[in-house]
Amino acid sequence: MKLIRDLESIIEPFKNAVITIGNFDGVHIGHQALFKKVTEKAKDIKGTSIAMTFDPHPLRIIKKNGFPPLITRYDQKIELIEKCGIDVVICISFSKEFASITAKEFIQDILINRIGTKAIVVGHDYAFGKNREGNLEFLKTHTKNLGYDVIVVDWIEISNGWSGRISSTKVRELVIEGRVNDAKKLLGRFYQLKGKVVVGRNRGGKLLGFPTANINLCDELCPKSGVYAVIVEYERKKYKGVANIGYSPTFGDQKFTVEVHILEFNKDIYNEEISVEFIYRLRDEKKFSGISELHKQISKDIEKAQEILEI
Ligand code: RBF
Ligand code: MG
């Protein structure tokens, strides 16, 4: 897959370009359906399958605050799009200037003239460009004079055990509510956090008997506080684990942490990158009357996690 970060670097249009355009935060099953249609159509017309996306997320530029936490960070998003079999990802560095381009200019100058678009694949509620001018109706009225096809993907076809609307907003809601199992239905994979292992309080192993790797988060989406059965990936190997998200109320901590106790593991992994897949939410975080009560509960959590992760 080819990654393009700058439109200027496209010196000649792609052969029979089939394109889909979006933020694709989360690369959920709705997005995956769009990519599938793009690759199928590109195969049909012996062309190039293209996904255009944006980084940073346009809302971070348009809205000063109140933008949503990301489901997938930039590198993870690109990696997931690549897995869908797309030939070229064009990732626009979103700016106020880019936002001011009209839908007509965007289609004519960028999609047609520069990229060589022959077909645009969209969901039925799609709109782009300044003031969301570039909606489906708009796209369709320009097909004849600009010479491209519009292909609409019906998202109902791909429900995957989920009957509601599929959107990044819905995925965020589910993760924030701790409903990682439902989030999985929409993502087509488990929700995953990636981060560097940082120094914690150095208490888990010594005092409690369960050492934890504390993960440093930037501003990505974090599941609801609580205890989860997880799968940890480190150096391409997978391990079972139990994660705790929250404030460790037993110790009266004021600091929010994401920490994971990795089963059958005793390496020093400070400063190393790990990823944590959230498989199942075991319980809420609780204030225990003492260390031994908390220790007992964590032993039970591990037992339950072992059972869940066995299958
Ligand atoms: N701390 C709490 O105060 N309440 C909990 O319910 C709780 N559950 C945990 C469950 C697991 C599986 C793990 C690994 C940790 C949990 N902790 C909990 C956090 C614990 O207090 C923390 O790991 C140590 O204090 C080290 O920082
Ligand atoms: Mg720790």
pLDDT at 157: 54
pLDDT at 58: 87
User: 72: helix, coil or strand?
Assistant: coil
Q: Determine how β-strand 191-198 pairs with β-strand 273-283.
A: antiparallel
Residues of the chain with CATH 3.40.50.620: 2-153
**Closest atom of ligand 1 to CA, residue 242:** 12
**260 CA to middle of ligand 2, Å?**
8
Residue nearest to atom 13 of ligand 1 (CA): 244
List, in order, residues 6 or more apart from 285 with CB less than 8 Å away.
Answer: 225, 226, 227, 244, 245, 246, 247, 248, 249
On whether the CB atoms of residues 213 and 297 are closer than 8 A, the answer is no
**Closest atom of ligand 1 to CA, residue 302:** 12
Q: Kindly identify the ligand whose nearest atom is closest to the C-alpha of 204.
A: 1
Q: Determine how β-strand 226-234 pairs with β-strand 48-54.
A: unpaired
The reported pTM is: 0.93
The model's pLDDT over 110-148, given as tens digits with 9 standing for 90+, comes to 999 999 999 999 988 888 877 788 899 999 998 888 899
Residues lining ligand 1, Cβ inside 6 A: 200-201, 203-204, 208, 210, 212, 227, 242, 244, 248-251, 259, 261, 285-288, 294, 298, 301
Residue nearest to atom 19 of ligand 1 (CA): 248
Residue nearest to atom 14 of ligand 1 (CA): 261
Cα separation of 168 and 57, whole Å? 12
**304 CA to middle of ligand 1, Å?**
16
**Tokens 């496209």, located at residue:** 10
**204 CA to middle of ligand 2, Å?**
5
Residues of the chain with CATH 2.40.30.30: 185-310
**Closest atom of ligand 1 to CA, residue 203:** 26
**Closest atom of ligand 1 to CA, residue 305:** 12
pLDDT at 208: 94
pLDDT at 182: 93
**226 CA to middle of ligand 1, Å?**
9
**Closest atom of ligand 1 to CA, residue 260:** 14
Alpha helices, H only, 55-167: 58-62, 74-83, 96-99, 103-105, 136-141, 143-146
The model's pLDDT over 74-94, given as tens digits with 9 standing for 90+, comes to 999 999 999 999 999 999 999
Cα–Cα distances (Å) from 188 to 30, 222, 270, in that order, read 10, 18, 31
Please identify every stretch of the chain with a pLDDT value under 70, giving residue numbers as ranges: 155-161, 311
pLDDT at 129: 76
CA atoms within 13 A on the CB side of 85: 13
On whether the CB atoms of residues 59 and 94 are closer than 8 A, the answer is no
CATH numeric code, 185-310: 2.40.30.30
Residue nearest to atom 21 of ligand 1 (CA): 248
Say which DSSP state 220 is in.
Answer: B
Residue nearest to atom 22 of ligand 1 (CA): 204
**79 CA to middle of ligand 2, Å?**
29
pLDDT at 183: 95
User: Domain 2-153 - what CATH class?
Assistant: alpha beta
**Closest atom of ligand 1 to CA, residue 200:** 27
Alpha helices, H only, 157-290: 168-176, 180-187
